[in-house]
């Protein structure tokens, strides 16, 4: 994604504006799911009136996608003051909890391409939240660590993410939330090789 | 995402290789969720052994993300012969079912930025699946239509997507699938303005 195409993004709603500032070329993942509702006033509408969704309405995959976009929008709006997107938050948490983590491991854990992890870590480094340290015993590699600012930001952002996630699940009972997590974990089982 | 960073993506598994060919600069959405398991042999592992996921393990949002990456990987592998990613498929379905659709409407429906929709439609046009037609009564706008090749590809891809989605849900009973869809639809309710 070029800076030009990023800047060309249309947006009028509050959520869209804050999301647009997050959509930097250095972080392709930030542009990921919805990144702000596509200029939709009031955010993403999973069922736009008078639109025929055809087979999409019957797919579990598209039901997940619809939920994910709404969650992404709410996340970005909730974390706007820190410019923390879902991939950035996941990276900060994983780096904070797993000492001596290498970039390739981070990519593997987050399920993103190594090139995407490079851009993600570059963005976090620009934000002064993450630093690269020489890895002991391997001259070509380095370990990822949070900076002091990264630790402070993560502590604050974590509370905001927990509040956001509580809102995401607010229409579900505790039992329904547990059921949802259990059903999600059983989706897309590995195929035999 | 630059062509260079895209080419730098590491990948050794079958799924990763086919996904990598899809990750073109013209289509940032193709790089989206997992785009191939990040060089993970055998694909994405939602729970990498010996990794501490911290708060991520308790978040509904991250449970959705884990499911989505697995689904994305299986989708891309299942549709590899057509080079059809989830956003490309969604766009083809929406365009096919809704005559005289404009690009801004497509972006709104899919929950992506207008700039992302431009790149998505550009890629589909390069693949000779979608064409832009002048919109009646509006010189600045155009309508999106499927080409004959687009119609044929969509018909074949649709069967592959239905089979893929059946695999995604194969560990769930019909009742569980209905429960899952109903719970997903209740996530992330709109916030009061």
Radius of gyration of chain B from Cα atoms?
18
pLDDT of residue A46: 94
**Which residues of B are less than 8 Å from A61 in CB distance?**
71, 75, 86, 161, 164-165, 168
Between B86, B96, B97, which is nearest A65 by CB? B86
pLDDT of residue A5: 32
Binned at pLDDT 50, 70 and 90, residue B138 comes out as: confident
State how far Cα A124 lies from the chain centre: 13
The mean pLDDT value of chain B amounts to 82
Length of chain B: 193
Quickly list DSSP for A44-93: --SS-TT---GGGGG-HHHHHHHHHHHHHHHHHHHTGGGT--HHHHHHHH
Share of chain A above pLDDT 70, in %: 78
Report the distance separating Cα A15 and Cα A9, nearest Å.
13
SS3 category, A142: strand
**Which residues of A are less than 8 Å from B46 in CB distance?**
111, 185
pLDDT of residue A153: 98
Binned at pLDDT 50, 70 and 90, residue A109 comes out as: very high
What are the strands of the beta sheet with B130-135, ordered from one edge?
A: B101-102, B138-146, B130-135
Mean pLDDT of B49-62: 97
From chain A residues 75-104, the ones with a CB under 8 A of any chain B CB are: 75, 77, 86, 90, 93-94, 96-98, 104
- Residue in B closest to A159 by C-alpha: B55
Look up the pTM and report it.
0.81
**Between A144 and B139, the higher pLDDT residue:** A144
Q: Would you call B163 an interface residue with chain A, using a CB distance cutoff of 8 Å?
A: no
- Which ipTM value was assigned to this complex? 0.82
Mean pLDDT of B130-151: 90
Label residues A23-53 b or e (16+ Cβ within 10 Å = b): bbbbbbbbbbbbbbbbbbeebbbbebeebeb
Binned at pLDDT 50, 70 and 90, residue A12 comes out as: very low
Mean pLDDT of B91-109: 96
SS3 category, A181: helix
Cβ-defined contact of A34 to B67 (cutoff 8 Å): no
pLDDT of residue B42: 61
pLDDT of residue B8: 30
Report the distance separating Cα A95 and Cα B55, nearest Å.
12
Phi, psi of B111 (to 5 degrees): 70, 35
Whether pLDDT at A55 is above 50: yes
pLDDT of residue A140: 79
Whether pLDDT at B19 is above 80: no
Number of H helices, E strands in chain B: 8, 3
pLDDT of residue A72: 95
Mean pLDDT of B150-158: 98
pLDDT of residue B183: 98
pLDDT per residue as tens digits for the range A26-53? 333 333 444 444 444 468 999 999 999 9
Whether pLDDT at B171 is above 90: yes
* Residues pairing with A134 in the sheet: A142
Long-range CB pairs of A178-184 (<8 Å, 24+ gap) are: A179/B179, A179/B183, A180/B60, A180/B63, A180/B180, A180/B183, A180/B184, A181/B60, A181/B63, A183/B172, A183/B176, A183/B179, A183/B180, A183/B183, A184/B63, A184/B64, A184/B66, A184/B67, A184/B180
CA B100 to chain A, closest CA, distance in angstroms equals 12
Report the distance separating Cα A21 and Cα A136, nearest Å.
37
Whole-number Cα distances in Å, A21 to A6, A80, B1, B2, B160: 9, 9, 17, 19, 38
State how far Cα A88 lies from the chain centre: 6
pLDDT of residue A173: 98
pLDDT of residue B10: 31
From chain B residues 26-65, the ones with a CB under 8 A of any chain A CB are: 28, 31-40, 42-46, 48, 51-56, 58-65
Q: Which residues contact A138 (CB under 8 A, 6 or more apart)?
A: none
Share of chain B above pLDDT 90, in %: 72
Report the distance separating Cα B94 and Cα B48, nearest Å.
37
Mean pLDDT of B101-108: 95
Mean pLDDT of A127-141: 88
**Which residues of A are less than 8 Å from B171 in CB distance?**
186-187, 189
pLDDT per residue as tens digits for the range A58-107? 999 999 999 999 999 999 999 999 999 999 999 999 999 999 999 999 99
């Amino acid at each position: 994604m070029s800076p030009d195409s990023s800047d060309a993004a249309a947006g009028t709603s509050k959520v869209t504006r804050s999301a647009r500032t997050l959509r930097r070329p250095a972080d392709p993942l930030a542009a990921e799911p919805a990144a702000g509702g596509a200029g939709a006033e009031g955010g993403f509408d999973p069922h736009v009136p008078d639109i025929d969704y055809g087979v999409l309405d019957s797919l579990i995959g598209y039901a997940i996608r619809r939920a994910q976009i709404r969650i992404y929008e709410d996340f970005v709006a909730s974390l706007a003051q820190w410019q923390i997107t879902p991939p950035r938050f996941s990276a900060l948490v994983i780096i904070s909890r797993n000492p001596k983590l290498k970039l390739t491991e981070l990519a593997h854990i987050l399920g993103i391409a190594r090139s995407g992890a490079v851009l993600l870590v570059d963005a976090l480094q620009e934000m002064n939240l993450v630093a690269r340290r020489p890895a002991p015993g391997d001259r070509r590699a380095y370990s990822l660590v949070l900076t002091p600012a990264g630790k402070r930001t993560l502590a604050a952002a974590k509370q905001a993410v927990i509040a956001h996630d509580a809102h995401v699940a607010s229409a579900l009972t505790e039992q329904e939330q547990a059921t949802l997590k259990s059903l999600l974990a059983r989706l897309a089982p590995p195929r035999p090789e």
